[in-house]
Chains A and B, each alone.
Chain A
């Protein structure tokens, strides 16, 4: 069984750089530093602190934002993916959309935030200026630096992420199923209600969960846009870590991060359960 040793570097790497940090997080979230003596003791103070007040608001804010943007992003991304796949002579369009999606979904982060600031951020934004100077309209109280503004920017990387993850599933829908349904006299609605929909449901749910995780974890975009004025967990973690004033805020940061891991873990468990129940046709 010398061959098994070949997989050892990989497993060791994962153990050191993925499992160890998360494990340390799980342990040290339950440690506290005494403000006077700097003694370290076991304590649930940090973990309790994050379930209340501003931290609780941050979790709720992050969960709301992720849920709303994931659902909207999934719906729009699905529509876009179908539209692109069905477009006539869509070869070039397809490749443009797919590669652009790859860039925006995975490597956007900071650039996206600044593109939006240039567009509708404050009075200097190009579109804002256009609306107010030329047409005499404002943005109607809309601010980029709010939850709604963040949602608008998040969709800019969530829709491409949906397109990327759902296209393989759409391509796996066999044309024969549609032909069979047509031959049996089914309407378009009936096809989607009884054939296409049920088959696509598991991949769509899976992709939505990925969108949710991605929005929940997003930090760069939010940081570049709003600093720490909006209640989001990732912003609170960064704040807690950079605060040199409050002794023990480091541990609160760890507890907040652990909370994120636990929440994502719960979502994954739920997702696995749904998948097991619904996945039949596409493997």
Chain B
């Protein structure tokens, strides 16, 4: 389990880069297989993307190309509603997961190191636990409201969680799914920032704990917080299983619903969402690196 814990940081893809090791150039011909691997896998990864773009810009009626499908995305039936809902769910999930995890990670680092392994293991569980099993369990719990608590305040609360316009239950489950990414991002930040020294200094200078948290801890963690927030948001925007099984319409379930009648639109939205996520991740990774080099020089 420790190994998984070490490596999950990479799952977001925004790892600080370590200096690259010099390859040994001495042996002749040793590099040929690398180019073969890069070429074959490059083809495998690029062809579907390229084909998707081709599929969406090709005008089948008249021949030639057009950006009509992409231009039609904002006005597509149901798109605005589903996308806004997913964005709102994403924002709520980010806020909730940060409220839950920032104090926990900081507390474990500074005052409760004995809990570290427990917290680490618990946050990694969602990584191997099938989301569909989790959501079947959640569905069973939600079914208690009409079956056992009918007419009580608790049932009302359960029903409120499942409001189709803004299903809070999704937020609560997404927080669980985001835990592995968020914990690893924050933990890396906490370790990298030398938080213990910083907080001790602040305490010695007379700062109160809330003040330490706001003026020392959060600024020191801002890249990790940014990282964690972005990964969570991307997770929510792409999550299909939970929303589909619980029967809510979010951005991904909308794509699947329209795919039958408007295949070009569904592919266009898919390609767009992949590319936008990638570009945002590249930007965060570049940001990370710039800050890193500035501070180390």
Interface residues of A (CB under 8 A from B): 3-4, 6-7, 9-11, 13-14, 17-18, 20-25, 28, 76, 79-80, 82-88, 90-91, 94-96, 98-112, 114-120, 124-127, 155-156, 159, 161, 164-169, 171, 175, 178, 182, 188, 202-203, 206-207, 210, 213, 216-217, 219-220, 223-224, 234, 237-238, 241, 253-254, 257-258, 260-261, 264, 268, 272, 275, 279, 282-283
B133 to A261, Cβ gap below 8 A?
Answer: yes
- Residues in B15-66 with C-beta less than 8 Å from chain A: 15, 17-18, 20-24, 27, 30-31, 33-35, 37-38, 41, 44-45, 47-49, 51-52, 54-56
Q: Which of B81-89, B193-201, B264-272 contacts A (4 or more CB under 8 A)?
A: B264-272
B255 to A272, Cβ gap below 8 A?
Answer: no
- CB closest chain-A residue, reference B36: A83
| Distance between Cα atoms of A238 and B108 in the complex (Å) | 39
- Residues in B234-283 with C-beta less than 8 Å from chain A: 234-235, 237-241, 244-245, 252, 255-256, 259, 263, 266-267, 270-271, 273-274, 277-278, 281-282
Majority secondary structure of chain B interface residues (helix, strand, loop or mixed): helix
B128 an interface residue at 8 Å Cβ cutoff?
A: yes
B137 an interface residue at 8 Å Cβ cutoff?
A: yes
B128 to A238, Cβ gap below 8 A?
Answer: no
B76 an interface residue at 8 Å Cβ cutoff?
A: no
Give chain B residues whose Cβ lies under 8 Å from the Cβ of A219.
Answer: 130-132, 240-241
Q: Given A126-B51, A279-B3, do A101 and B176 touch, yes or no (CB 8 Å)? A: no
B207 an interface residue at 8 Å Cβ cutoff?
A: no
A217 to B37, Cβ gap below 8 A?
Answer: no
B228 an interface residue at 8 Å Cβ cutoff?
A: no
Q: Given A22-B134, A110-B240, A234-B130, do A85 and B100 touch, yes or no (CB 8 Å)? A: no
B111 an interface residue at 8 Å Cβ cutoff?
A: yes
The smallest beta-carbon distance between B95 and chain A, in angstroms, is: 14
Give chain A residues whose Cβ lies under 8 Å from the Cβ of B37.
Answer: 76, 79-80, 83
| Distance between Cα atoms of A169 and B104 in the complex (Å) | 28
Q: Given A115-B271, A159-B41, A264-B129, do A223 and B137 touch, yes or no (CB 8 Å)? A: no
B219 an interface residue at 8 Å Cβ cutoff?
A: no
A24 to B274, Cβ gap below 8 A?
Answer: no
B8 to A165, Cβ gap below 8 A?
Answer: yes
> Beyond the given A106-B235, A119-B52, could you list 18 further A-B residue pairs with CB under 8 A, ordered by the A residue number?
A7-B107, A17-B138, A18-B126, A23-B137, A24-B140, A25-B137, A91-B17, A99-B285, A102-B281, A107-B234, A107-B237, A125-B51, A164-B13, A167-B10, A168-B9, A219-B130, A238-B132, A282-B3
- CB closest chain-B residue, reference A165: B7
| Distance between Cα atoms of A74 and B44 in the complex (Å) | 16
B165 an interface residue at 8 Å Cβ cutoff?
A: no
Q: Given A99-B278, A103-B234, A119-B47, do A260 and B132 touch, yes or no (CB 8 Å)? A: yes
B125 an interface residue at 8 Å Cβ cutoff?
A: yes
| Distance between Cα atoms of A98 and B278 in the complex (Å) | 10
A272 to B122, Cβ gap below 8 A?
Answer: no
Majority secondary structure of chain A interface residues (helix, strand, loop or mixed): helix
Give chain B residues whose Cβ lies under 8 Å from the Cβ of A22.
Answer: 129, 133-134, 137
| Among all A-B residue pairs, the 8 with the closest Cβ atoms | A102-B13, A21-B137, A217-B130, A111-B270, A220-B240, A107-B238, A119-B51, A118-B55
A108 to B12, Cβ gap below 8 A?
Answer: no
B136 to A126, Cβ gap below 8 A?
Answer: no
Residue of B8, B11, B18 most packed against chain A (CB within 10 A) = B11
B127 an interface residue at 8 Å Cβ cutoff?
A: yes
A213 to B128, Cβ gap below 8 A?
Answer: yes
B101 to A10, Cβ gap below 8 A?
Answer: yes
B6 an interface residue at 8 Å Cβ cutoff?
A: yes
- Some 5 contacts from A to B, beta carbons below 8 A apart, are A9-B103, A88-B23, A99-B282, A114-B266, A282-B6
Give chain B residues whose Cβ lies under 8 Å from the Cβ of A6.
Answer: 103-104, 107, 111-112
B24 to A169, Cβ gap below 8 A?
Answer: no
Residue of B13, B100, B135 most packed against chain A (CB within 10 A) = B13
User: Of B15, B141, B238, which is within 8 A of A20 by CB?
Assistant: B141
B132 to A118, Cβ gap below 8 A?
Answer: no
